Amino acid sequence: MIFESQYQILTDTWQAFERNLCRLLFYEGFTNVRLVGQTGDHGADVTATRITSQEKKTMAVSSKTLEETCRRNCSTGNNRCGI
């Protein structure tokens, strides 16, 4: 399932990117998906839990924005960003 194209993601705000990250983790089977973003979160933007038959793992995810140069390269079709 595609939530947004790479070009939409590149023009989104950082808040929208974090929400999309939450949606993706939920779609991939994670539970207890939460936006953290508060003082004392140790750099985590999103936390999520995945439970399998063998184990329970809780993840902390930190998201970063791309620099403007990378945004321009991707918007012109130059895929140097690794996207």
Mean model confidence pLDDT for the chain: 76
Question: Which residues 6+ apart lie within 8 Å of 65 measured at CB?
Answer: 14, 17
Question: Which residues 6+ apart lie within 8 Å of 21 measured at CB?
Answer: 45, 46, 61, 63
Q: Are the C-beta atoms of residues 35 and 19 closer than 8 Å to each other?
A: yes
Mean pLDDT of 14-23: 85
Candidate from 4-8, 36-40, 54-58, 72-76 with smallest mean pLDDT: 72-76
Does the pLDDT of residue 72 top 60, yes or no?
A: no
Q: Say what the pTM is.
A: 0.66
Q: Are the C-beta atoms of residues 6 and 77 closer than 8 Å to each other?
A: no
* Burial status of residue 46 (CB atoms within 10 A of its CB: 0-12, 13-18, 19 or more): buried
